[in-house]
Amino acid sequence: MMRKLMGIFIILVFAAVIITPVVIIEGIRLFQPPVQVQTGKQLVRVYFHQAGITKIMPLEEYIAGVVAGEMPANFEPEALKAQAIAARTYTLKKIEEAKIKPDASHPNADICTDPSHCQAWAGDDVLRQRWGLIGFWRYKNKIQSAVQATSGMVLTYQGQLIDPVYHANGGGRTESAAAVWGRDVPYLQSVPSPWDKTSPRYNDSRTFSLRYLDSKLGVNLEAVPAAALAAPGGTAIRVLEKTPTGRVKTIKIGGKTYAATDLRKLLGLSSTDFTWEVQGDRITFHTIGYGHGVGMSQYGANGMAREGKNFAEILAYYYRGTKIENR
């Protein structure tokens, strides 16, 4: 019995000496203040669209909020760095444009926090709710480290800041700017993005009643025979044109023709790479990918980072012919 008690005592002593310091060190690491980004002298005027106010912020502080708002914090550090550079480039380009011609949506600001118009942005209050206390310190530190590591870095093409558009998931292949917006941009070309296929947001479905679709689009699909609605081969809903990657470009619904980008906004679809099926009085749109598909795929960037690619390699892949410079 004495030997048994002595054995337990030795184990407890070992735990106190070896394990406790590890726990303490880990606790310190989790609760230490986040890395502070170097704010520098560059400022940006940000219009907070939900509050309806404009604030002047240090650029790098703003970029940290964009990375937190635009990309999942559990992504690989190299993907977060790539996002930071893309966001910084986008912001500085917006500042340049605002000096020449202010944006009518936010005339007294360089940029806004509406992701459908500019870039998303998340402040500490939102992030504490999203991540919790421990997660806040951990992820805030991770994101600010990525911003700090790329401080001042931007993407250029032939010496000029690029338009570094990005999206969540390219569905296996990104799209060219020409196919989506009708303007050819040398560094926004279609590239394979196979990492998207095993990532979240690769596919999605949305179901509507035909009555809702009629009211939303101003058509009368409820009166159309089911065969005319079926895909493929139906006459009431027909794809008129596709992009080189197979996304829908224009579609005719109930006698009206829509650009797929407009239909996506009207119905809240995840992408323009969609098919549909009709069952009774309901129609379901099945989508591949998430976002407009042009530029950097965020999940693709994370997939590349997991394979060991660094932020420079990620950016060079999705923005062909560009360079990283310091501004």
At 106-120, the pLDDT tens digits run 999 999 999 989 999
pLDDT at 230: 84
CA–CA gap between residue 114 and residue 83 (Å, rounded):
17
Which alpha helices (H) appear in 101-217, and where do they start and end?
A: 124-149, 177-181, 210-217
pLDDT at 20: 44
φ, ψ of residue 289 to 5 degrees: the values are 85, 175
pLDDT at 7: 53
pLDDT at 73: 97
pLDDT at 195: 97
| Chain centroid, CA 257 distance in Å | 29
Question: In this structure, what DSSP letter does residue 35 have?
Answer: P
Phi/psi class of residue 172: alpha, beta or left (left: φ > 0; alpha: ψ in -120 to 50)? left
pTM listed for this prediction: 0.85
pLDDT at 13: 44
Which residues in the chain come in under a pLDDT of 50? 5, 9, 11, 13-32
pLDDT at 24: 40
Residues 6+ apart with CB under 8 A from 95: 44, 110, 111
pLDDT at 2: 53
pLDDT at 40: 60
CA–CA gap between residue 181 and residue 176 (Å, rounded):
9
